[in-house]
Amino acid sequence: MAGKTGTIVAVLAGAAVGAAIGILFAPDSGSKTRKKIKDGVSTKADEIKDKLAELTETVKSKFGHAKQDLESSLDSLVTSAKDEADDVIATLERKLEELKKGAKNAAKA
C-alpha cells in the first residue's frame, strides 16, 4: 500500500513540475505565466487532495473489514474455549464422582 501511495505522489508531483516548467518556457508575459502556474498548482493540489481522500477511504474500508474479521474470530475463539472448559469441568466432575463411589466401596469392604 505504501508503494502505491509513493508512486501516485511521485507521478502527480512530476506532472506538476512538468506543467510548471512548460509554462515557464512558454512565450507569455510574466503576469500570465504566474497566473498559469498558480492555477496549475491549485489544480494539482486539488487532484492530490482527491487522491489522498480516495486512498484514505480505501485503507479505512480494508482495515474496517479486517477489524470485523478479527472481532468475529476472537468471539468464535472465546466461545470455543468456553465450550471446551465446560466439557473439561463436566468430565472432571464425573471422574470425581466415580472416585468418591470407589472410595465408599473400598471403605465398606
Non-local CB neighbours of 19 within 8 Å, separated by 6+ positions: 40, 44
Amino acid 49: pLDDT: 83
Would you say residue 88 has pLDDT above 80? yes
Q: What pLDDT band is residue 24 in, cutting at 50, 70 and 90? A: low
Q: Domain map of the chain by residue range?
A: 2-108
Would you say residue 3 has pLDDT above 70? no
Of residues 93 and 39, more confidently modeled: 93
